[in-house]
């Protein structure tokens, strides 16, 4: 899409404006603790939401040539969406998203004065309770608002919107592609969700919410994932089952490759990252267990020394091996273990 020299020029010019600093300089003696959403005080929840709203409103500094990128958040969304086939269902899925989460958390701190730590959403708690649509994560006051509602609007992209919570009725520009999910563009639409159990619609055309497929992400599934003895088997199930189903049952902006538009993306991926960290157990064997392929066609074998693609989003090209341990290199955090 872009020539290498073009990208290099952009990377060099963005070095001057470098503002994102790594959370750690390599000596992680006092890791910050990422907590489950329910473990936060209401004050801590409000502080995270404040910062997440803030990041959506800041003007972009990168991707000047891309018309659809107008905010700091758009830069994250654009990068994830453009790289989609290079970072999903390939070996780097977990380390890439670990890097991305850290970058987002650093942005919340440096750009929006965030004082807390990235929370995670342990959806297996809601799955075990068989009460996913009523998860406290969707609370209109202390959470992220709930399902989208039909608005009666006939304007494309405005027919179904999230109408409660801190992100209600906000407009997004990088499209999730209504009416075509697979075509990305610079399309104005309201922030939306469309809870579903992948069972289609009833006779009135209303989406069937059902149980939201809780058997795909309950603690039973997670225990099966923790039972794998190798990275490839573990990640295949983690990405393919609970990770993918959470995107799919919330749907709307959470569905397509522009899913970082959905603020829950970061809490969802923090939980996916927690599952990997938990599986690793800071066990020396598992901290270096990395294998698979860099392409969907499985022609290029992955190596722990691989650089990960980031387009213009960062100043330093991250290397997989620096993202294996959450308490070493550029990282310095740990997770509470809610389940």
Ligand X SMILES: *[C@@H]1O[C@H](CO)[C@@H](O)[C@H](O)[C@H]1NC(C)=O
Q: Which is nearer to ligand X, 70 or 170 (CB)?
A: 170
Using CB under 6 A as the binding rule, the residues of this chain from 57 to 86 that contact ligand X are none
CB-side neighbour CA atoms (13 Å) of 25? 0
Listed residue (205, 289, 194, 301) closest to 251, CA to CA: 194
Q: How far is the CB of 284 from ligand X (least distance, A)?
A: 4
Q: Which is nearer to ligand X, 141 or 284 (CB)?
A: 284
Q: How far apart are CA 48 and CA 139, in angstroms?
A: 14
- The region of 70-78, 168-176, 231-239, 299-307 touching ligand X under the rule CB under 6 A is 168-176
Q: How far is the CB of 278 from ligand X (least distance, A)?
A: 13
Q: Return the residue matching tokens 């000047």.
A: 64
CB contact set of 339 (below 8 Å; sequence gap of 6+): 122, 124, 125, 219, 222
Q: Which is nearer to ligand X, 121 or 276 (CB)?
A: 276
Q: How far apart are CA 69 and CA 76, in angstroms?
A: 9
- The region of 44-52, 163-171, 232-240, 266-274 touching ligand X under the rule CB under 6 A is 163-171
Binds ligand X by CB under 6 A, chosen from 21, 64, 150, 284? 284
Count of chain residues binding ligand X (CB under 6 A)? 11
Assess 283 for contact with ligand X (CB under 6 A): yes
Contact 235, 94 (CB under 8 A): yes
Assess 286 for contact with ligand X (CB under 6 A): yes
Q: Which is nearer to ligand X, 229 or 307 (CB)?
A: 229
Q: How far is the CB of 57 from ligand X (least distance, A)?
A: 11
Q: Which is nearer to ligand X, 41 or 153 (CB)?
A: 153
Q: 72-82 and 93-112 helices cross at what angle (nearest 10)?
A: 170
Binds ligand X by CB under 6 A, chosen from 27, 154, 204, 299? 27
**What is the DSSP annotation of 203-252?**
TTS-B--TTTTGGGSSHHHHHHHHT-SSHHHHHHHHIIIIIHHHHHHH-G
Binds ligand X by CB under 6 A, chosen from 84, 169, 248, 338? 169
Question: Which residues lie near ligand X (CB under 6 A)?
Answer: 25, 27, 169-171, 188, 229, 283-286
């Amino acid at each position: 899409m872009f020539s290498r020299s073009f990208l290099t020029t952009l990377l060099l010019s963005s070095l001057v404006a470098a503002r994102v600093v790594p959370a750690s300089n390599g000596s992680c003696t006092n890791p910050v603790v990422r907590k489950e959403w329910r473990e936060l005080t209401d004050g801590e929840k409000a502080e995270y939401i404040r910062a997440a709203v803030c990041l959506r409103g800041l003007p972009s500094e990168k991707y000047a040539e891309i018309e659809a990128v107008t905010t700091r958040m758009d830069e994250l969304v654009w990068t994830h969406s453009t790289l989609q086939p290079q970072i999903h269902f390939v070996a780097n899925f977990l380390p890439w998203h670990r890097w991305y989460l850290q970058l987002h958390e650093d942005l919340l701190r440096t750009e929006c004065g965030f004082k807390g730590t990235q929370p995670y959403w342990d959806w297996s708690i809601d799955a075990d309770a068989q009460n996913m649509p009523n998860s406290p994560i969707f609370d209109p006051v202390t959470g992220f608002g709930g399902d989208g509602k039909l608005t009666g609007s006939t304007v494309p992209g405005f027919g179904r919107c999230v109408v409660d919570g801190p992100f209600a009725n906000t407009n997004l520009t990088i499209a999730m592609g209504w009416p075509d999910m697979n075509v990305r563009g610079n399309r104005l639409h309201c922030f939306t969700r469309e809870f579903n159990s992948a069972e289609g619609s009833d006779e009135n055309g209303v989406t069937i919410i059902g149980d939201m497929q809780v058997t795909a992400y309950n603690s039973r599934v997670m225990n099966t994932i923790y039972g794998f003895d190798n990275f490839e088997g573990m990640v295949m199930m983690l990405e393919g089952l609970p990770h993918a189903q959470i995107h799919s049952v919330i749907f709307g902006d959470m569905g397509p490759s522009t899913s970082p538009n959905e603020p829950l993306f970061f809490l969802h991926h923090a939980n996916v990252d927690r599952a990997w960290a938990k599986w690793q157990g800071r066990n020396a064997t598992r901290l270096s267990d990395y294998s698979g392929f860099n392409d969907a066609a499985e022609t290029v074998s992955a190596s722990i020394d691989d650089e990960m693609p980031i387009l213009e989003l960062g100043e330093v090209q991250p290397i997989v091996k620096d993202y294996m341990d959450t308490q070493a290199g550029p990282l310095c955090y740990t997770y509470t273990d809610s389940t």
